[in-house]
Amino acid sequence: SPGKTNIPGVFVCGAIAGPCDIAQSISQADSVASLIAAEIKAEPFEKPIQYPEIRDTSKEEPRIIFAYH
């Protein structure tokens, strides 16, 4: 497979792979980019913040809350 080496995770393209012209280098770079994308493991995103449910407090007794800044 073009671009792969015998060392896992190491890829080559362009002049490193051997003599080639610019068009071949670009084609090899595209191929290697695809190989690298296939090797990368996706990391999970952070879980979204979960806010408490909004509830109807219109029928509850008012409460006094002190907030200091």
Q: What is the mean pLDDT of each run of 10 residues along the chain (69 residues)?
A: 84 88 90 88 81 91 85
Count Cβ atoms within 10 A of the Cβ of residue 25 and give its class: 0-12 exposed, 13-18 middle, 19 or more buried.
middle
Percentages of the chain per state (helix, strand, coil), in multiples of 5? 30, 5, 65
Instruction: Return d(Cα 16, Cα 10) in angstroms, integer.
Output: 12
Whole-number pLDDT of residue 2: 75
Instruction: Return d(Cα 38, Cα 60) in angstroms, integer.
Output: 56
